[in-house]
Amino acid sequence: MLHSNSIGFQTFSYARHLCNSCTRILGLESTPKIIQYNDEEVMLEIIPIGIDVDSLLARKLLPDVKEKEESILRLYKGKKIIFGKDKLDIVNGILQKLNAFEQFLNFYPEWRDKVVLIQVVIPGNSNQPKLESKVSEKITSINSKYGSLEFSPVHFYRSFLEQDLYIALMKIADLGLITVVRDGMNTSSLEYIVCQEKNKNPLILSEFTGTAGSISGAIQINPWNTDDVAHQIKNCLVMDEYEKANRHSTMYNFVRSHNSEFWANSFINAINTNCATQSERHSIPLLDTITISESYKNSKKRLILLDYDGTLVPITNIPANAIPSSKTIESLTLLCEDPKNAVWVISGRDSEFLNKHLGSIKGLGLSAEHGGFVRHPYRDWESLVDQLDLSWKTQIKNIFDFFTERTSGSFVEEKVAAITWHYRNANQDYAMFQCNQCHSHLESAIASNLPVEILVGKKCLEVRPKEVNKGEIVSRLLESSSNVGLDFLFVAGDDRTDEDMFITARNYVNSIIKEESDENPLKLNNKLPKSSSDDNNASKEILISNPNLSKQSLDFESEICQLKHLDCFTVIVGNRNKKSNAFWNVPTTYNITDLIQALSKND
Ligand SMILES: O=P(O)(O)OC[C@H]1O[C@H](O[C@H]2O[C@H](CO)[C@@H](O)[C@H](O)[C@H]2O)[C@H](O)[C@@H](O)[C@@H]1O
């Protein structure tokens, strides 16, 4: 399933169950609409099944059907007919139905000779001899207790039902009774509603059916609640015509509008939309180094924001060993020496580590623990988490220690305001399993009660304060007066926490465009692509952020640049097929090192 682009579900709860299983068993990240799998997005759609209403409406008028209706009515003259058709499977709730019907006859003796339950049972997916004998016993017991020589309250047909007879039974029924304890795309309820177009008789529907979520005019029941179902049977048999008509019209309108054609179209639309989004996403272009070099050269005020692990420095097995190369240090030093540049390393590492390896670079800005601490160039470290309650750390540490003891090779990295459990050096299959257990425990038992966010990192689980993220620190830097008049913005990162930086950069560019378009509406509007009025911001943003465009676009871009020039380059390091908010991609940290070296010598 996880190799699909889209998965369609009958109900929201089925989609939720899959999400939960993927998060808890496989450790995947998910939202109610998306499961993240191997850098791919599996889209979850709720598309309840529909039936071919028109052909059923036509079929029910056939003379054969009419004939069968008349013969059944003759057979059960003077009786109310309750109808049910189910497969002989444990989940179809036949026993629950019989129990409820028995209770109804028990509670309401005045109805004993006046109602018949016609129960059609078709063979199930497997042989169910035990269930079959229980059902037979129950029917015999009801019929002997409440029936007579002339009349049996339960009429049981065990066979495949010919279509015309099935339609005739649904047309003449006074009540449809569906008591399944679990099902998916069962269409019996929909067929019953269409067949009742004229009589408008009610439907009792188990809350566990796949259609219960959409058929709001039905009487919903829990099939395990025998007494309630018994009472509802009686209420339906005495329901007034006005209520019947109201309930039926709600159900019928839904079934008509959500027919099989609508169902098929919903699937096709979902697949088209999702595939289009995914193919767009798959084309994160490789960073055009000529364009960025030219842009760098022509700019006068630059902001350069770099993540550390996986961006400036390759991933290593032991965090302490991930240290910058001399080439990286030299390039950063040169970049910082240029008065046009403000250069920052924004990392999840703690301040002590960043100080040790990057602290001596003059003019370099540092941000530690995902923005919890900052060191402006030539200043001391400043804490942004002073006011936060960090008492949760002890509780999280205890949980991480528990998993560390049981996962050989894993360890805990404790920082001031965050805490990380690393398992890169443990047996991977087992560690992944442990990580999922730990994650699941944190999500269900801890996260909702504590002011924290849980992050699935690269072979690690990290817990940090909710209020802290890299986007916040980027936002502060962009808003700071020292960055007014910025004309070159470069942001590079490799993991989930860096996405917050990309999003903030994108929003910043969009806000500038909005400002410009508000100030110069004519000039900008004349230049906007005509077909994309709803998408104006996005188009403009791409034009600004992605200078590698067609001639026509470049003309438009240069027009914007005259208003206010800003070239923004957001770059994701690693797999270019990965979902990201960055516009550009480079495959490895070495490309970043080469790039910053080239830029530092470029001016
Ligand atoms: O924001 P970053 O600079 O990317 O830091 C994120 C985390 O990086 C470190 O862990 C990761 O890198 C280690 C060294 O390559 C690797 O062994 C580990 O598996 C990775 O998860 C760091 O230890 C964490 O504190 C940072 O939050």
Nearest-CA residue for ligand 1 atom 4 is: 309
Q: What percentage of the chain carries pLDDT values higher than 90?
A: 68
State the CATH architecture for 392-465: 2-Layer Sandwich (3.30)
Secondary structure class of 85 (helix, strand, coil):
strand
Mean pLDDT of 33-54: 88
Which pLDDT band, with edges at 50, 70 and 90, does 157 fall under? confident
Mean pLDDT of 293-318: 95
Q: Token pair of 575, please?
A: 């797999």
Nearest-CA residue for ligand 1 atom 21 is: 458
Among 307, 309, 421, 454, which residue has the most ligand 1 atoms within 8 Å of its CB, making it the best to mutate? 309
Mean pLDDT of the residues in the chain: 88
Alpha helices in 308-444 (DSSP H): 326-337, 351-358, 392-406, 428-441
Among 346, 458, 469, which residue has the most ligand 1 atoms within 8 Å of its CB, making it the best to mutate? 458
117-129 tens-digit pLDDT: 999 998 877 788 8
Secondary structure class of 234 (helix, strand, coil):
helix
Which atom of ligand 1 has the smallest separation from the CA of 345?
A: 3
Nearest-CA residue for ligand 1 atom 15 is: 315
Residues in CB range of 290: below 8 A, 6 or more apart: none
68-105 tens-digit pLDDT: 999 999 999 999 999 999 989 999 999 999 999 999 99
Please confirm, yes or no, whether 380 is among the known catalytic residues: no
Is 307's C-beta closer than 6 angstroms to any atom of ligand 1?
A: yes
Mean pLDDT of 569-575: 94
pLDDT for the residue numbered 185: 84
Which pLDDT band, with edges at 50, 70 and 90, does 521 fall under? low
Look at residues 477, 495, 492 and name the one whose alpha carbon lies nearest to residue 371. 477
Cβ atoms of residues 39 and 578 within 8 Å: yes
pTM: 0.58
State the CATH architecture for 53-258: 3-Layer(aba) Sandwich (3.40)
What top-level class would CATH report for the domain 289-315+322-384+474-600? Answer: alpha beta
Domain 289-315+322-384+474-600 in the same topology as domain 53-258: yes
Q: Could you give the strand order of the β-sheet that contains 175-178, starting from the edge strand earlier in sequence?
A: 154-158, 115-122, 80-87, 175-178, 203-206, 219-221
Distance 319 CA to ligand 1 centre (A): 6
User: Pick the residue with more confidence: 433 or 195?
Assistant: 195
Nearest-CA residue for ligand 1 atom 20 is: 458
pLDDT for the residue numbered 603: 66
How far is Cα 245 from Cα 313, in angstroms, rounded to an integer? Answer: 70
Distance 458 CA to ligand 1 centre (A): 7
Residue among 89, 307, 487, 498 flagged as catalytic? 307
pLDDT for the residue numbered 474: 97
Q: What is the residue extent of each domain of the chain?
A: 6-49+264-279, 53-258, 289-315+322-384+474-600, 392-465
302 bridge partner residues: 341, 488
Residues in CB range of 385: below 8 A, 6 or more apart: 369, 372, 373, 416, 417, 465, 467, 468
Is 416's C-beta closer than 6 angstroms to any atom of ligand 1?
A: no
**ipTM value > 0.85:** yes
Is 457's C-beta closer than 6 angstroms to any atom of ligand 1?
A: yes
